[in-house]
Copies of this chain bind each other. A is one copy, B any other.
Amino acid sequence: MTTSGGNIFSAMPGHLADEQMTALLTAPHVRIERIVSRGTSSPPGFWYDQDWAEWVIVLAGSAGLLIEGEAEPRRLEPGDYVHLPAHVRHRVEWTDRERATVWLAVHHAANLLDPR
């Protein structure tokens, strides 16, 4: 295998109607994604409920991440990271309206294709 690389802040979308997800690494047990969002939120009543765990860090912008059972969204700013074990329900309450929010998400499981 050869090495591959890039810059996570490159090729930023000029306009965003919705979140943009880009896979940076895909392997059976780990998937690394860049997520870019601006002024977006999860649909009302929607919760992410994933069969795999997710470690996520905000690298630019800011966001409000609500974890089920917590009273208020966590405000995430550059450098802030959170680990979400499988089936910890969560939603994005808001992302920065003034600039792009860049997330780096590391999804992981013993086998992402059949994580149970």
Give chain A interface residues in 1-40, CB to chain B under 8 Å. Answer: 1-10, 24-25, 27-30, 32
Contacts of A55 in B (CB 8 A): 24-25, 32
Sorting the interface of chain A by its residue count into under 10, 10 to 19, 20 to 34 or 35 or more gives: 35 or more
Question: In the complex, which of the residues B1, B5, B110 contacts A29, with contact meaning CB atoms closer than 8 Å?
Answer: B110
How many copies the complex holds: the figure is 2
Complex: A109 Cα to B106 Cα, angstroms? 14
Q: Do A7 and B80 contact each other (CB < 8 Å), given the known contacts A29-B29, A30-B108, A32-B55?
A: yes
Closest to A9 in B: B79
CA distance A34 to B80 in the complex (A): 13
**Interface pair B4/A82, CB less than 8 Å apart:** yes
